[in-house]
Structures are given as C-alpha cells and as structure tokens.
Structure 1
Amino acid sequence: MKRTIILIVFTLSIIACNKKHNPIPLVKDTYFDKAESFLSKNSDSAFYYFNKVAANSRDSLEIAIAYNQMAVIESNAGDYFGAQESLMISLKFLNDKKEKHFNCLSSDYNELGLNVQNFKNFDLAIEYYDKAEKYSNNKVFNLMILNNKALVYQKTKKYAQAIKIYNEIITGTGESQKEYARALSNVTKTKWLQNPDYKAAPYFLKALDIRKKQNDIWGQNASYSHLTDYYTTIRPDSALIYAHRWYQVTKEIKSPDDQIDALRKLIQLSPPVETKAYFKTYQKLDDSLKFARNSAKNQFALIRYEVEKNKSDNLKLQKDNTEKKYQIIKQRILLFSTFLLLIGGSGISIIWYKKRKQRLEMEAQNTVRENKLKTSKKVHDVVANGLYRVMTEIENQESLDRNSILDKLENMYEKSRDISYEELGFTDQNFHVKLSDLLRSFATETIRIVLVGNTADLWLKVSIQIKIEIEHILQELMVNMSKHSKASNVAVKFEQTNNCINIYYSDNGIGIAEEEQFKNGLTNTGTRIKSIHGEINFGIKAEKGLKVQISFPVS
C-alpha cells in the first residue's frame, strides 16, 4: 500500500512535468481519471480503467504510465510475473531521448528492481536500480531508489557498500526528518548485521522517536520490526514487548504481509499458552492472503482478455459497417447506370447494345466463377486458417500483445487483397522460426505442442515453393486437430534422410475416420503433397490418436 501511495504521487508529478515542459498540455483520458480515483480503494477497478487507457489512448506517455500503474497493482497483489510483463510493455512506449519520459522510465526500472528482488535476483536488481537512478530527476524519489539499492547490498551481506549508500542518503535528506529517520534506522540495522556486538538500541530508539513525532505510522512499523529483531537473542522479553507493538501497528496500517511477519515473531517469542492463538491467527491470515492474491491474478487476466475482446469485436463491427455502406453505394451506382443505359439509346441501337451488354456480363460472370474456383483453395488456406489461428490465440492466451495481433490481422488483410494473383507474397527468411511460431500458436491451456528437429539447416536447400506448400499442409493439420481431434498432446518431428525430408505428426485425439481423410481442407493437403512430388500417409490408428507421415524430396 505504501508503494502504491508513493507511485500515485509520482505519477501525478510525471503529468505535471509533462505540462511544464510541453507547450501542448497532456490531455488525460477520462478512463485515466477514473483509474486514479479507484487506486486507493478498489485495485480491481483501478486496473480495469488503466487497462482501458492502455487500449484506447493515443498518447505514448499516458499509455506507459497506465502500464506502470497496472504493474504496481499486480505487484502489490503478488503477481510479480504479470508486473514484469506490464513494465516491459511500458518501456516500449517510452523514449530515453525525451526528458519528459524520464520520470516514468525511472519508475519502471525501480519497479523492475523491486520485482526481481522478490525472486532473489539481486545482481539484476542492482542493474535496474542503477538505470532508475540514471533517469531520476526527483530528489525524494532518488533517495527511495538509493534505499532500495542499499537494501539489496544488505541482503547480500555487502554491508560496507550498503552503509556507504545509507550515509549518502542521510547527507541528502536535508530537513526531511522522515527520510532521515528511515536512513538512520536502516544504516543502524546494517551495522548491527555487520557486527552483532554493535550497540544499536540508542539509534533504533532515536529513529522511532522521530517517527512518532512525525506521525509516520509506516516508519514506526519498520522501527518496531528492527527493535524486535535486535532484542530477539539478547533480551527476548524486550523483543516480545516490541513484537506486540509491531503487531498493533501492522493492523493499523492494514498491511497483511507485515502482520504475518509480526505474528511469526510473536509465535517465536510468546509463552506456549499464547503461541497457539497466534498460530491460528497467522494460519488464517496467510490462507486469506494467498487466496486473495490468486483471485487477483485471475481477475487481472480476465480484465485484460475482456478489454482486448471488446476491442476486437468493435473493429470487426466497424469493418462490417464499412462493407455494408460500400455495398449500398455500389448497388445505387449500378441502378443509376442501368437507368441511364435504358433511356440513353433508341431502336435497334438500344436492342443491340443490350444484347451485347448481356453477352459481356455473361462472360464476366463465367470468368468470375472460374477465378472463384481457382482461388477457393487459397482463400481457405490463407484467410480461414489464418483467422482461426488468431482466434485461437485470443481465446487462450492470458495476456495479449495488441501489436502482434494487429500485425497478424494486417498480414492476412494484405494477403487477402492479393489473393487473385498466382502466388501470394512469401518470405523464407528464418523459415524454421516462422514454422515453429505457426505450430505453437495452436497451443492452449489444454493442448500441448512439442516440436523436434525444426532447425535452420534443415530448410537451407528447400525451395520457396516447397516451403509455401509445407507451411499450408502443417497449418491444415493443426486446424483439423484444433477443431475436431480433441487432442491434448501433439508432437511434430522433422528429420532428413539423404535427399528426403520426413515430417512425423502425432496426437492423442479421437483420430480421423477413413471416409473423412480427404474431405474439406485435407483434400487440399493431398493436392499440395502431389505438387511437390511428396507423399502423405495416415498411419494405422490405435485406440486413440492420429499419426501422419509426410515425405518430400529436398529439391
């Protein structure tokens, strides 16, 4: 909660800085205002509206701030992986050459440091804190970064480096008694950890006294924690007194993590008759906290999915409306043209023109029918299967890369525009990577995809035409699997024997009936195999599953 409050203030300073350095003020999204209003009272609602900002705003800095705040909410809920993902997305919208982006850059790197620190990746945490310090132009926030950095050195027992930083913080606190007390308490604990004989009590008590005068409840929480740890071995009775005070403060600040830590100390220090009651409270609180954080993770994933789905539905609706308007205009033009033709001539000229027009229209319709027959196979492979692949990703991925989805839709749009040409645009650069991405895109929470042998060397001597056909063949198999097979495990193995490449496909689904082997899309598969002088064999099916072997010459 403390980090959330600090970062709310920090976000406002980013926006204020923006207005100060940019002659055109940053126009905040209405969703942004709603998100900020929910930050301190309903994190789910705040996350929802920040996600709306990220999906709808056209201002890159505003989007970056939204992802930064989403990361803080996720981190506070214990979703550290989700927080890291949000922070990495935030960084993509920032420019390290623009001064107005520096505050958000500093905040992103500081949050990344805190997240990797939770995974005990201390070296990487130091790197992130160094970057946060590089972009920080806020004195108070810079002291916080230094404090986080010193804490890493303390946890890794590099006490001399930690003490050096804490002394630097003390020097830089100026008239801020609150920051001075924080640095004094932290440097005292570090000196005590470095030398267990160090007389730390007077300095701990001095920091506590300052915090009481400043009414710094969060600071008192830290002081009581330090005093409890210090007295645990040398004066357990005093440690118990401070543990009781610590526990009362944790309930006042409503920090479940600190309550759990305080309860651990009370269980350790209390008489046996009191230990049982503290343990029950500890166990209940720990279970509640785990449940709340797991629920929050699922809620965040659901919010992201719903926002992306609504956006996709809106885009489809816009496209459909545009198409309908186009058809109406087209019909009106056709009717008007026909009317002009009917009244534009007379006598034999009109009759001759109408007959000629009818003949030309008939020829055009026949040509269209022939073209439709020729391109139906390409439409099925490129548009239908491509859309199914994107739909599968949207339905089954917890968090979506908006730019990636848009790129794929744009790619299908470009291919559909050129569908009437003899060959679709195709690039064989990094074909093995492209093929792996295609196959793995069908993986879901219930479908596991395993690939073996798909290396760059395997495809070096294979022609572009063969690569095109193989890509469509495998895509058709995966679409058939996803739609019909009910498989949970799919394996695709690639190997080369002499001048021949073999591809072995297998799944544990319901198999495929004999009469179904060459229906619909699989008919195209057989045609494609023949076009590259290859073979396809549907193996003898066991009780469950399907095995397919594809073989074709390298050149």
Structure 2
Amino acid sequence: MRPNYLVIILLIFYSCNKIETRDEVYPTKLYEKAKYFQNENISDSAFYYFNLAKNDYVKINDSTGASKSLVNMAIIQCNNGDFYGSIETSLEADKLLRNESDSTVKSTLAANYNNMAISSSFLKNYEESVAYYKKTLQFSNDAENRYIYNNNIGDALILLGQYKEAKKYLELAIFTKDSLIYAKVLNNIARAKFLDDQNYNPLPELNKALIIRQNNKDIEGQNSSFSTLADYYLEKNAEKSLLYSYKLLETSEKIKKPEDQINALQRLIMLDKPNYLKYFKRLTAINDSTQTSRNKAKNQFAVIRYDVEQKDAENKNLKLRDAENEINIIYLSFGLGILIITLIIGHFWNEKRKKSIKIEKEKEKELEVKNTELRYSKKVHDKVANKVYHVMSELENTENMNKEVLLYKLDGIYQISRDISYDKNDVALEHNFSQHLSQMLKSYSSENIKVPIIGNEESLWEDVGDHSKVEVFYILQELMTNMKKHSKADKVLLDFSRENDLINIVYSDNGIGISEFSPKNGIQNTESRINSIGGTINFDTKTENGLKITLSFPAKN
C-alpha cells in the first residue's frame, strides 16, 4: 500500500541518521585479544574471540580481516584434532580471499592452504595435501617458507609412493639455511632414495639428520629420525628397529605427542612379542583418549560458534525491537492521515484479496489431486514394484524355490497392492525399525553381493519421526534395487552416523558407477522423499570406482 511505502522511506531516512551517529565496532581489539590467548595456548578463548572478530569484520565489509580471523580459527581446530572442521573453516576463509594482488591477502592465502594441507595429511588424504601445498607455493614469497612447503610436498609424495617425484621437491628444499629444516629435508631425501632403490644406503644421511636434531635439542625432530631408523631396520636388524622404537616411545611421551606414541607402540607390538599385550593395551588407551579429545574439540568449537551466532541473533533482536519502537512513534505522528488512506485502499485491496483467495483455493484443489496421484504412484513404485523385483531376484538366486513360498510372497504383494488405497501403517514401521531396515538391506545380499552395514543401531533412530523413518526406508530400498539392477557391484557398504540432531547415511558400492547423472523415476522419488523430511541427497558421479551417495536429514522434523 502507498501509505506504507511512505512510512518505509521515512524509516530508512531515520535509520541512516542513527547509523551515522552510532558507535563504530572495533573488531581489531577482539582480534588482538584472540592473538593473545592463542600465544598463551588457551585455544578455546582464542577461538571464541577470533569468531567475534570475524563477525564484526563482516559487519564493516572487511573481508581481509574476516578471512584472517577464520584462518586462525582453522589453525586452532587443526592443532586440536578437529581436522574436518578445520578444512571447513579454511574453505569459508577462502571464499573471502579474492584480491590476490594484495600482499596481505597472498600471505593469508598461503597460511590458509598450508593449514588445509596439514589437516588433509592428518586425514591421510595425501593427494589433496600435495595439491594444497602446491597452492601454498603459488602465494608464498618467503624463501624459507617455500623450502618448508617443498619439503612437505616431498614428504606427502613419499607416503603416496611417488619417490622420484618426491626427490625433485626435496632437492629444491635442501638449500635452506635453517638447520632444523635442513635436517627434515635430509631425513626425507634419505627415505625417498632408499624406498626408490633398496640397495641405497641411507644411514649416513639419516644419522647426520639425527645428530643435527640432537645438537639443537629438537625432540620432535628426533622422533622423526627414530621413526625413520626403526622403519629402515625393520627388515634388516630387528634389535636395532626395536631400540629405535623404544627411543621413539620415550621421546614422544616427553613431548606428549600421541600420534608418535601410537607409531612407536605399533612397532613394539610387532617387535617385542613377550610384551605385546602390554603395548597393545597402551595403544588402545591412547587411541581412545586421542579420539575422545578430538571429538571433544570438535564439539567444543561447534558450541563456541553456535554461542556467538546466538549472541549475534540476540543483538539483532534488540535492534529490531528498537526499530519497532521507532516505527510506533512515526505511525503516531502520521496516524490520522494514514488511517484514512489505509481504510480506502484497504477496501479495494480486500476485494482483490477475496478474488485471489478464490483463485488460490481452486489451485490448491488441483494441486491436491496431483499430489494424491503422485502419492499413489510412489506407493505403487515403492511397495509393489520393488517387492516384485525382490521376488524376481530371489527366484534368480534360489534354485528350486518352493512353490508354496513363492505363492506366499505373491499373495503378500497382492495384499500390499490392496492396502495402498487405505493408507494403513507402513510396513517399514513394523517391529524394531533398525532391525527391519537391516533385514531389508541384507535381503539384497547373495553369494556374489556382500552388504556390510555400519552404525544402524536402535539408538540412532531415537526421536526420529515415523514419516522420516518411512521415507528413509524407501529411499534406501530404491538405491539397493538400482544397485541390483544396474551397478554390477559385488560389495555395497552402508554407513549410518548421527551428529547431534543430524543423521548421515553414506551408501557406497564398487560397481561400474555412473559417468553422468541422469535421474529416472526412482531417483526422482528419492529426491522428493528426502526433500519432504528436510534433508539432502548428494550423488558423487565423479568417483572412478563405483558410486557414493550421501543422505543427510534432521532427526527431529
């Protein structure tokens, strides 16, 4: 209505004057406070204030400040074992770093890609790690940093088994003037040469690297040397390999580095047979403790981000209430004139609205008919077509099927087809849901097809509504049917997990995959079903070996 447009214009004018006189935010102070906590190794407080600084930088359109805050948040997550969360935060920062000609942006990009490379290495995604380190090189102008990145690329390539390629990067890094970096490079070159040529003697270089590290009291570097020497002697001299494994365990305990402790204990289990049980128990305890610590860090950082967002939302609500009070004042000022004009225009608007409502109701009736047709079509597809395919599959895989069993199954299909129009409780909800779901999935297994299932426990489905259960049941049934028909897979893995109120299901097979996504009726049904419960479905069509499909949906919907 035109009078409301007038009010809005006045509000905008009034708000602009308020913006000019309000206090400016000071994200730099928050950033400096975060850096203080980061230097003091108080990770949670540093993360909290970097998050606050990021939000305030965004408010004043300072993308560089926001991205620097995000990169520091990502580094904190990586240092505390939240590697997936770290990469996610780094990717968020990457979206803000667009002015690559700016020196600050370039250095921030280098730090960001370096963090993603490190996180990827911890996740054993070495190809991604190499790719990120190469991007780091593109934006790094510091010579010593470039030596470090070349060394790290070489290290990742060794783990990928690309020893000749690794040597190329390590030979670029060997010119560093930093003795500790030189020791790292020397140790890695010796590894690459020996792994590429089993006749090569790496001991002079390995021992030289160890001596440099001992002279510099570089305990973490000594860990690396002990690990390399233990590996070298593993097949050549078990006693020496055992000795270096003991040293690795001792030093890693001093600096409290669980990854190196695990590395040492794994070797000791193999080499020190009389004490393998003792080391196995310690390994299990450290593994559990490390995983618990990483999960705690992951949840902690998620809670911090949530709390900050909640506070921002509360501040916005306060500002909104202030704006509402201002609106009331303006309405009172122009009340009488606006009321008269509103009543006149309201009369015409009401008439138009009545016509619109009438048209809308007619459209709703048409839509209801279409939805009913679609609902029955989906029921026929899910409950009858897939059941028929089930029986066909059993006939194909079962020699001399009993006639009475076959008649019983066909009668079941007949009863299902009769019940479609009555909207009875869905068969998917009968009995224990997780067991029923597992039975359905396992029914697709045969001598030639293995169907392992991970995480489908009854506790996973607590608080999940019946509608969501039914939709997920038939989505998975459709995927399994498509697998049986088209994929030529001999192994299908279904991995169920729950993070707070979000349930994730990953389907993967080792079949022929699909080179180009072309949705058919069944696949369209899965998309409409997952959308109906507020979830998402992602088809990974770029994988070379088989197919991967990820389902995510809220537990409470």
Q: TM-score range by the shorter chain?
A: 0.5 to 0.7
Normalising by structure 1, report the TM-score.
0.56
* Residue identity opposite 2:230 in structure 1: T
Q: Identify if the C-alpha distance between structure 1 residues 290 and 119 changes in structure 2 by more than 3 Å, giving closer, same or farther.
A: closer
Q: Give the gaps of 5 or more residues in structure 1.
A: 1-26, 339-356, 380-483, 497-501, 511-555
CA contact (8 A) 1:487 1:508 kept: no
- Rounded Cα–Cα distance in structure 1 between residues aligned with 2:352 and 2:188: 77
Aligned partner of 1:331 in structure 2 is: 332
Q: Give the gaps of 5 or more residues in structure 2.
A: 1-25, 361-464, 479-518, 534-557
- Rounded Cα–Cα distance in structure 2 between residues aligned with 1:201 and 1:495: 61
CA contact (8 A) 1:50 1:66 kept: yes
List per-residue Cα deviations over 1:99-132 (Å, max 9, x = no partner).
2211111122222333344455444433322221
Aligned-pair CA distance for 1:376: 9.1
- Rounded Cα–Cα distance in structure 1 between residues aligned with 2:196 and 2:526: 62
Aligned-pair CA distance for 1:236: 1.6
Q: Identify if the C-alpha distance between structure 1 residues 60 and 362 changes in structure 2 by more than 3 Å, giving closer, same or farther.
A: closer
Aligned partner of 2:293 in structure 1 is: 292
Aligned partner of 2:253 in structure 1 is: 251
Aligned-pair CA distance for 1:330: 2.9
* Residue identity opposite 2:66 in structure 1: I
Aligned-pair CA distance for 1:506: 7.2
Out of 93, 96, 100, the position equivalent to 1:93 is 96
Q: Identify if the C-alpha distance between structure 1 residues 362 and 47 changes in structure 2 by more than 3 Å, giving closer, same or farther.
A: closer
Aligned-pair CA distance for 1:213: 1.3
Q: Larger deviation: 80-89 or 214-223?
A: 80-89
Aligned-pair CA distance for 1:323: 1.6
Please show how residues 248-397 of structure 1 align to structure 2 within 5 Å: 248-272=250-274, 274-332=275-333, 334=335, 363=344, 366=347
- Rounded Cα–Cα distance in structure 1 between residues aligned with 2:250 and 2:359: 70
Q: Larger deviation: 82-91 or 106-115?
A: 106-115
Question: Given the alignment of the two structures, is residue 72 of structure 1 paired with residue 71 of structure 2, yes or no?
Answer: no
* Residue identity opposite 2:49 in structure 1: Y
- Rounded Cα–Cα distance in structure 2 between residues aligned with 1:361 and 1:106: 59
List per-residue Cα deviations over 1:151-201 (Å, max 9, x = no partner).
122122222222232222112x12x21121111111112112122332222
* Residue identity opposite 1:214 in structure 2: N
CA contact (8 A) 1:489 1:508 kept: no
Q: Identify if the C-alpha distance between structure 1 residues 289 and 485 changes in structure 2 by more than 3 Å, giving closer, same or farther.
A: closer
Aligned-pair CA distance for 1:29: 2.4
- Rounded Cα–Cα distance in structure 2 between residues aligned with 1:87 and 1:302: 18
List per-residue Cα deviations over 1:39-98 (Å, max 9, x = no partner).
353323322222222222242222112221222233334433322221111111113122
Question: Given the alignment of the two structures, is residue 30 of structure 1 paired with residue 29 of structure 2, yes or no?
Answer: yes
Aligned-pair CA distance for 1:247: 1.1
List per-residue Cα deviations over 1:455-481 (Å, max 9, x = no partner).
xxxxxxxxxxxxxxxxxxxxxxxxxxx
Aligned-pair CA distance for 1:495: 9.6
Aligned partner of 2:153 in structure 1 is: 149
Aligned partner of 2:85 in structure 1 is: 82
Aligned partner of 2:543 in structure 1 is: none
Aligned-pair CA distance for 1:368: 7.1
* Residue identity opposite 1:251 in structure 2: E
* Residue identity opposite 1:46 in structure 2: A
Q: Identify if the C-alpha distance between structure 1 residues 250 and 495 changes in structure 2 by more than 3 Å, giving closer, same or farther.
A: closer
CA contact (8 A) 2:27 2:52 kept: no
List per-residue Cα deviations over 1:402-460 (Å, max 9, x = no partner).
xxxxxxxxxxxxxxxxxxxxxxxxxxxxxxxxxxxxxxxxxxxxxxxxxxxxxxxxxxx
Q: Identify if the C-alpha distance between structure 1 residues 256 and 326 changes in structure 2 by more than 3 Å, giving closer, same or farther.
A: same
Aligned partner of 1:353 in structure 2 is: none
Question: Given the alignment of the two structures, is residue 128 of structure 1 paired with residue 132 of structure 2, yes or no?
Answer: yes
CA contact (8 A) 1:146 1:169 kept: yes
* Residue identity opposite 2:255 in structure 1: I
* Residue identity opposite 2:129 in structure 1: A
- Rounded Cα–Cα distance in structure 1 between residues aligned with 2:284 and 2:358: 62
- 3-state SS, counterpart of residue 198 of structure 2: coil
Q: Identify if the C-alpha distance between structure 1 residues 371 and 318 changes in structure 2 by more than 3 Å, giving closer, same or farther.
A: farther
CA contact (8 A) 1:133 1:142 kept: yes
Aligned partner of 2:549 in structure 1 is: none
Please show how residues 112-191 of structure 1 align to structure 2 within 5 Å: 112-171=116-175, 173-174=176-177, 176-191=178-193
CA contact (8 A) 2:27 2:53 kept: no
CA contact (8 A) 2:223 2:251 kept: yes
Q: Which protein has the larger Cα radius of gyration, Structure 1 or Structure 2?
A: 1
CA contact (8 A) 2:246 2:268 kept: yes
- Rounded Cα–Cα distance in structure 2 between residues aligned with 1:377 and 1:233: 85
List per-residue Cα deviations over 1:261-315 (Å, max 9, x = no partner).
111122222241x322222111111111111112222222222222223222322
Q: Identify if the C-alpha distance between structure 1 residues 312 and 208 changes in structure 2 by more than 3 Å, giving closer, same or farther.
A: same
- Rounded Cα–Cα distance in structure 2 between residues aligned with 1:198 and 1:321: 76
CA contact (8 A) 1:488 1:509 kept: no
CA contact (8 A) 1:87 1:112 kept: yes
Count of residues paired in the alignment: 355
* Residue identity opposite 1:293 in structure 2: R
Aligned-pair CA distance for 1:202: 2.6
- 3-state SS, counterpart of residue 215 of structure 1: coil
* Residue identity opposite 1:165 in structure 2: Y
Q: Identify if the C-alpha distance between structure 1 residues 271 and 55 changes in structure 2 by more than 3 Å, giving closer, same or farther.
A: same
CA contact (8 A) 1:488 1:507 kept: no
Query: Once superposed, what is the RMSD of the aligned Cα atoms?
Result: 3.9
CA contact (8 A) 2:130 2:156 kept: yes
- 3-state SS, counterpart of residue 234 of structure 1: coil
Aligned partner of 2:48 in structure 1 is: 48
Q: Identify if the C-alpha distance between structure 1 residues 377 and 258 changes in structure 2 by more than 3 Å, giving closer, same or farther.
A: farther
- Rounded Cα–Cα distance in structure 2 between residues aligned with 1:98 and 1:363: 58
Q: Identify if the C-alpha distance between structure 1 residues 183 and 505 changes in structure 2 by more than 3 Å, giving closer, same or farther.
A: closer
* Residue identity opposite 1:295 in structure 2: K
Q: Larger deviation: 49-58 or 225-234?
A: 49-58
- Rounded Cα–Cα distance in structure 1 between residues aligned with 2:95 and 2:358: 39
Query: What percent of counterpart residues are identical?
Result: 31
- Rounded Cα–Cα distance in structure 2 between residues aligned with 1:132 and 1:504: 39
CA contact (8 A) 2:147 2:174 kept: no
Aligned partner of 2:213 in structure 1 is: 211
Aligned-pair CA distance for 1:378: 13
- Rounded Cα–Cα distance in structure 2 between residues aligned with 1:376 and 1:329: 32
- Rounded Cα–Cα distance in structure 2 between residues aligned with 1:206 and 1:377: 88
Normalising by structure 2, report the TM-score.
0.56
Out of 89, 101, 106, the position equivalent to 2:110 is 106
- Rounded Cα–Cα distance in structure 2 between residues aligned with 1:361 and 1:159: 79
Q: Identify if the C-alpha distance between structure 1 residues 374 and 148 changes in structure 2 by more than 3 Å, giving closer, same or farther.
A: farther
CA contact (8 A) 1:488 1:508 kept: no
Please show how residues 469-548 of structure 1 align to structure 2 within 5 Å: 487-490=468-471
CA contact (8 A) 1:267 1:275 kept: yes
